[in-house]
Amino acid sequence: MRIVTDVLSMQREAERLRKSGQRIVLVPTMGYLHAGHESLISRARVLGDVVVVSVFVNPTQFAPNEDYTRYPRDFKRDVELAENAGAHIIFHPSVEEMYTQQHSTFIDCGDVTQRFEGAFRPTHFRGVTTVVAKLFNITRPHVAVFGQKDAQQAFIIKKMVSELNFDIEIVVAPIVREVNGLALSSRNTYLSPAERERATALYRALQHSKKRILEGFFTWDVIRNEMRTILEESNPTQIDYIAFIDPATFEELTTVPQGTVLVALAVRYGSTRLIDNLLIHRD
Ligand code: PAF
């Protein structure tokens, strides 16, 4: 496995691979890799010939009051995990390599970036789309793999790819969970053992919503209140939102449609903010 740290070398390598007919699959990450990333890399392996994993903690997607500086980093461990999972190249640039001091170009995908996650993190998604577009231009992938855990991010990236005509296939891979239901996340490392146990309430609340939605007789307010009760039993510091979303438009559902519903939530335990979601298919 090769480690590439500068933009020009990565672009040249991508060009060489493309010319030799190889299919490049990108797995963008912010590092501190875990089994969730491992599953994205495994998925990437079957989608092409060369798997590029980017490891870059992107400053532009963190607001000044967020956890950019304390975001967990362990590049040595990332290299081992990525290699064992079958990655071929790690792209690991410095902040200076990715952003000049004068950087002022951002991609804004509109209203959807201000809903749900965006209501609590208004500048987050423009940082994500900007860095992802840069990573696309640098690693020149045919396919890129993202996790369903960041469902709104995946939706926005698909929208950007479609509206800006990137010739890249976006694949979204399922959430990986611990046996107790906690969705894997690099931020779980902030949780104390007791908070980790309490945080299993997110999955219990999502499972409850599934049961109620599949039963068929409900209103969104009733289910939201029941989920809130489940979450409150775990003594969270704050419940940011519990939302019922149409996954095709990423708009909040007002009526109860046939088809698929995305239930998404964000909850804080201490200073740790966790997100999770569940896709529920109704016939
Ligand atoms: O999902 C993430 O880890 C990040 O938002 C991403 C897509 C790597 C962009 O920095």
Question: Which residue owns the Cα nearest ligand 1 atom 2?
Answer: 29
Atom from ligand 1 closest to the CA of residue 61: 10
Three-state SS for 100? coil
Which residues of the chain carry a pLDDT beneath 70? none
Question: DSSP class of residue 123?
Answer: T
Statement to judge: residues 155 and 205 lie in one domain: no
Which residues neighbour 144 within 8 Å (Cβ) at sequence distance 6 or greater?
Answer: 25, 26, 27, 28, 132, 136, 157, 168, 169, 170, 171
> Do residues 157 and 273 both lie within one domain?
no
Q: Report phi then psi at 56, rounded to 5.
A: -155, 115
Buried b (16+ CB within 10 A) or exposed e, 16-38: ebeeeeeebbbbbbbbbbbebbb
CA distance 154 to 158: 6
Q: Which residue has the tokens 């092409």?
A: 48
CA 58 to ligand 1 center in whole angstroms = 8
Contacts for 158 with CB less than 8 Å, ≥ 6 apart: 170
Atom of ligand 1 nearest to the CA of 150: 1
| Residue at which a domain ends, from 173, 204, 225 | 173
Is 124 tagged catalytic?
A: no
- Count of structural domains, the chain: 2
How far apart (Å, rounded) are the C-alpha atoms in residues 242 and 224? 6
- How many whole angstroms from its chain centre is CA 160? 15
Beta carbon of 148 within 6 Å of any ligand 1 atom:
no
Centroid of chain to Cα 216: 30
What's the pLDDT at 266?
98
Whole-number Å distance, alpha carbon 233 to ligand 1 midpoint, is 31
pLDDT score of 218: 82
Domain boundary among 148, 173, 198: 173
pLDDT at position 188: 97
Pocket test for ligand 1, best of 30, 66, 146, 148 (most atoms within 8 A of CB): 30
- Give the structural domain span for 71: 2-173
| Residue count of the chain | 283
Check residue 268 and give its pLDDT: 97
Q: Does the C-beta of 28 come closer than 6 Å to ligand 1?
A: yes
Separation of alpha carbons 195 and 104, rounded Å:
39
**Alpha helix ranges (H) inside the chain:** 7-19, 35-47, 75-85, 95-98, 117-120, 124-139, 151-163, 193-198, 201-215, 220-232
pTM (2 d.p.)? 0.97
Residue 181, domain member (yes or no): no
The answer to whether residues 141 and 228 belong to one domain is no
**Can you give the pLDDT at residue 220?**
95
State whether the beta carbon of 82 lies less than 6 angstroms from ligand 1.
no
**CATH number of the domain residue 84 falls in:** 3.40.50.620
pLDDT digits (tens, 9 = 90+) for 63-72: 999 999 999 9
Q: 164 and 197 share a domain?
A: no
Token pair 């045919």: residue: 142
Residues 276, 150: Cα–Cα separation, whole Å: 8
Q: Are 89 and 53 in contact (CB under 8 A)?
A: yes
Is residue 59 in some structural domain?
yes
Looking at the structure, tell me whether residues 104 and 223 fall in a common domain: no
Are 106 and 44 contained in the same domain?
Answer: yes
Q: What secondary structure does DSSP assign to 35-80, as a single string?
A: HHHHHHHHHHHHH-SEEEEEE---GGGS-TTSSTTTS---HHHHHH
Last residue of a domain, which of 151, 173, 195?
A: 173
Atom of ligand 1 nearest to the CA of 128: 9
